[in-house]
């Protein structure tokens, strides 16, 4: 058994217990009633960084939740790896659909994880994946095997748009100086198919409000004579896609990058079983933009989805009413070159223009961010690729993801460094859903693979 396998074997129970402790804290950034827990989580992360070998750690205040910073600088002449992750999590709702409470972690076996998986909100996104880096540092320090300087920047607002991280980065350029940014907050294709995430989609998130009459009305006395905001909102939303499932907002596709046939053929080589895909989410057919495959639809193509819609009477029984207002939350996933602020404006203009005179429409922009594509010919990609080869015995597949980590584009703009995304989660890990989990196998593989990235990055950087 090699050195790192032996260390993992010896310490794996403790590695699991430490993660479980972290998962017990409900660090839900979206809900202010969890404020104390979010802050307590930041302090726990700081303490763990110090225990793992950071020689300096700090809670850095921002206008929102703090950023946890840690570093171990061993030699100014060596390259510096900046690890980014987030300690905040999504709300656990709908809580009634969890098999065990979201913040009382349990280990259970699943089909995909016969070795067991930890079930808890944040297990995979991102506490489990972030903590792999803390334990990888511990391993490298304990075994005198740290070939780079390390900095950690762990934030508490990723799940609500990272607004204050931009603020923090702009004010701490020197402190955050690095040669590469390393993140585990994405997924891999399968346990025997390692992959490196080479793209993230951008995001524009808006909320719309449609107002009809100035008060709720009797649907018999007024029905048929006034615009019903829910009927109108439904029509407006339905009109945002055409019969080919293309988005109808004028200008929406203007800057979308069309991939060449060669690139598309390369993408299609990644293993994917559409039958298994359908089965895993309980559907008998797939759906989406005409002319594109499922993997293209959810990575290189932009989308528009309603995330929530409400208004009117939704209590027990029936109430005959024409509501005064209707609302929806809408997200648009964007691809490289689409600018999220521009798209938000296009949406706003279009949505207002399609409203009939019988209603008033308001569009409120929420957060957003640009997409990102990592080159596959840089040394950071090469280093990650070598690391996977050492542990998995095969070359990883580059794969663009449909998810978003809006801050990654800003890292490149502000810190001028490339990001490498080494994700170890599986799509079936149910991030953001009830029963989120993270495989113990994946957790340990991550801890095993990360030190090899440092090793190869140090080697390639010094050439
Ligand atoms: N870790 C995810 C993003 C992700 C997951 C990317 C899997 C690729 C594969 C991140 O925490 C997340 O949920 N991001 C949000 C955006 C944010 C602004 C709320 C998202 O993608 O919805
Ligand atoms: Mn995440
Ligand atoms: Mn998330």
- pLDDT > 90: percent of the chain: 95
Question: Helix, strand or coil for residue 365?
Answer: strand
Model confidence band, residue 77 (pLDDT cutoffs 50, 70, 90): very high
Ligand nearest to the CA of 121: 3
Measured CA to CA, the distance from residue 68 to residue 59 in angstroms comes to 5
Distance 36 CA to ligand 2 centre (A): 21
What tens digit of pLDDT does each residue of 49-74 get?
Answer: 999 999 999 999 999 999 999 999 99
Looking at residues 402-422, what average pLDDT do you find? 95
Query: What residues have CB less than 8 Å from 312, skipping those under 6 apart?
Result: 230, 321, 323, 326
Helix%, strand%, coil% for the chain, nearest 5 = 35, 20, 40
Query: What residues have CB less than 8 Å from 53, skipping those under 6 apart?
Result: 72, 137, 138, 140, 141, 142, 146
Ligand 1 nearest atom to the CA of residue 331, by list position: 22
pTM of the model: 0.94
pLDDT value, residue 352:
98
Distance 192 CA to ligand 1 centre (A): 23
- Do residues 211 and 187 both lie within one domain? no
Model confidence band, residue 227 (pLDDT cutoffs 50, 70, 90): very high
Model confidence band, residue 463 (pLDDT cutoffs 50, 70, 90): low
Distance 404 CA to ligand 3 centre (A): 9
Model confidence band, residue 458 (pLDDT cutoffs 50, 70, 90): very high
Looking at residues 95-120, what average pLDDT do you find? 97
- Closest CA to ligand 1's atom 9: 186
pLDDT value, residue 447:
98
Q: Is the CB of 179 under 6 A from ligand 1?
A: no
Pairing label, strands 397-400, 217-218: unpaired
Looking at residues 15-39, what average pLDDT do you find? 98
Domain-embedded: residue 292: no
Measured CA to CA, the distance from residue 409 to residue 200 in angstroms comes to 9
How many domains does the chain fold into?
A: 2
Looking at residues 215-219, what average pLDDT do you find? 98
pLDDT value, residue 249:
98
Structure-block tokens of residue 148: 């780079």
Domain-embedded: residue 272: no
Measured CA to CA, the distance from residue 332 to residue 350 in angstroms comes to 14
pLDDT value, residue 4:
86
Tell me which residue of 249, 255, 251, 256 sits closest to 363, measured CA to CA.
Answer: 249
- Do residues 242 and 331 both lie within one domain? yes
Residues composing the chain: 463
Q: Is the CB of 128 under 6 A from ligand 1?
A: no
Bond into 126 cis (ω within 30): yes
Domain-embedded: residue 278: no
Range of the domain at 355: 202-256+302-369
Domain-embedded: residue 273: no
Distance 436 CA to ligand 3 centre (A): 11
Measured CA to CA, the distance from residue 10 to residue 4 in angstroms comes to 10
| Residue whose tokens read 């293209």 | 296
Residue 296 sits at φ, ψ, to 5 deg, of -75, -45
Domain-embedded: residue 182: yes
Look at residue 319 and tell me whether its pLDDT is greater than 70.
yes
Contact 123, 104 (CB under 8 A): no
Look at residue 283 and tell me whether its pLDDT is greater than 80.
yes
Looking at residues 144-154, what average pLDDT do you find? 97
Ligand 1 nearest atom to the CA of residue 160, by list position: 19
Ligand 1 nearest atom to the CA of residue 197, by list position: 8
- Closest CA to ligand 1's atom 20: 404
Q: DSSP secondary structure string, 193-220?
A: B-EEEEEE-EEEEEEEEEE-SSS-EETT
pLDDT value, residue 1:
64
Which residues hold their Cβ within 5 A of ligand 2, which is an ion?
125-126, 185
Question: CA distances (Å), 138 to each of 18, 52, 72, in order?
Answer: 13, 4, 11
Structure-block tokens of residue 354: 């399609």
Look at residue 291 and tell me whether its pLDDT is greater than 90.
yes
Looking at residues 312-327, what average pLDDT do you find? 97
Distance 320 CA to ligand 2 centre (A): 43
Q: Is the CB of 185 under 6 A from ligand 1?
A: yes
Domain-embedded: residue 280: no
- Do residues 140 and 79 both lie within one domain? yes
Tell me which residue of 405, 237, 233 sits closest to 323, measured CA to CA.
Answer: 233
- Which of 85, 403, 430, 433 for a ligand 1 pocket mutation test, highest count of atoms within 8 Å of Cβ? 403
Look at residue 167 and tell me whether its pLDDT is greater than 70.
yes
Q: Which of 369, 393, 409 is the last residue of a domain?
A: 369
- Do residues 315 and 332 both lie within one domain? yes
Q: Is the CB of 371 under 6 A from ligand 1?
A: no
- Do residues 413 and 353 both lie within one domain? no
Domain-embedded: residue 20: yes
Look at residue 3 and tell me whether its pLDDT is greater than 90.
no
Domain-embedded: residue 377: yes
Q: Is the CB of 344 under 6 A from ligand 1?
A: no
Contact 426, 442 (CB under 8 A): yes
Q: Which of 317, 336, 369 is the last residue of a domain?
A: 369
DSSP classification of residue 13:
H
- Closest CA to ligand 1's atom 16: 404
Provide the mean pLDDT of the chain. 96
Ligand nearest to the CA of 298: 1
- Closest CA to ligand 1's atom 6: 403
- Do residues 329 and 206 both lie within one domain? yes
Query: What residues have CB less than 8 Å from 63, skipping those under 6 apart?
Result: 164, 167
pLDDT value, residue 407:
92
- Do residues 306 and 426 both lie within one domain? no
- Do residues 43 and 192 both lie within one domain? yes
């Amino acid at each position: 058994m090699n050195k790192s396998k032996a260390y993992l074997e010896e310490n794996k129970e403790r590695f699991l217990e430490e993660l479980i402790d972290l998962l017990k804290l409900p660090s839900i950034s979206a809900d202010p009633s969890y404020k104390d827990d979010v802050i307590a989580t930041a302090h726990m992360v700081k303490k763990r960084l110090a225990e793992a070998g950071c020689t300096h750690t700090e809670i850095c205040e921002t206008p929102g939740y703090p950023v946890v910073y840690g570093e171990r600088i061993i030699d100014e002449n060596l390259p510096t790896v900046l690890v980014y992750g987030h300690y905040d999590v999504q709300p656990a709702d709908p809580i009634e659909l969890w098999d065990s409470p979201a913040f009382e972690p349990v280990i259970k076996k699943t089909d995909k994880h016969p070795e067991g998986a930890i079930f808890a909100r944040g297990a995979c996104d991102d506490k489990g994946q972030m903590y792999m880096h803390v334990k990888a540092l511990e391993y490298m320090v304990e075994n005198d095997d740290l070939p780079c300087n390390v900095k950690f920047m762990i934030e508490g607002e990723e799940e609500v748009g990272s607004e204050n991280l931009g603020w923090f980065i702009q004010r701490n350029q020197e402190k955050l100086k690095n040669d590469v940014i390393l993140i585990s907050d994405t997924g891999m294709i399968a346990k025997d198919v390692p992959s490196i995430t080479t793209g993230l989609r951008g995001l524009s998130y808006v909320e719309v409000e449609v107002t009809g009459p100035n008060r709720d009305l009797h649907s018999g006395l007024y029905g048929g004579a006034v615009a019903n905001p829910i009927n109108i909102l439904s029509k407006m939303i339905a009109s945002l896609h055409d019969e080919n499932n293309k988005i109808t907002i004028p200008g929406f596709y203007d800057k979308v990058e069309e991939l060449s046939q060669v690139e598309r053929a390369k993408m299609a080589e990644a293993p994917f079983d559409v039958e298994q895909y359908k089965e895993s989410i309980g559907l008998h057919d797939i759906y989406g933009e005409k002319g594109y495959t499922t993997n293209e639809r959810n990575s290189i193509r932009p989308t528009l989805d309603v995330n929530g819609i409400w208004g009117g009477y939704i209590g027990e029984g029936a109430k005959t009413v024409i509501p005064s207002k209707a609302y929806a939350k809408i997200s648009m996933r964007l691809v490289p070159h689409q600018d999220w602020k521009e798209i938000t404006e296009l949406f706003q203009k279009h949505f207002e223009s399609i409203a009939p005179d019988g209603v008033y429409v308001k569009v409120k922009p929420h957060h957003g961010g640009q997409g990102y594509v990592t080159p596959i010919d840089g040394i950071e990609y090469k280093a990650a690729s070598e690391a996977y080869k050492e542990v998995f015995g095969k070359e990883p597949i580059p794969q663009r993801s449909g998810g978003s980590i809006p801050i990654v584009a800003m890292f490149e703009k502000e810190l001028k460094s490339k990001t490498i995304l080494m994700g170890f989660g599986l799509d079936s890990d149910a991030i953001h859903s009830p029963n989120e989990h993270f495989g113990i196998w994946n957790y340990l593989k991550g801890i095993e693979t990360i030190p090899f990235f440092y090793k190869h990055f140090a080697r390639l950087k010094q050439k």
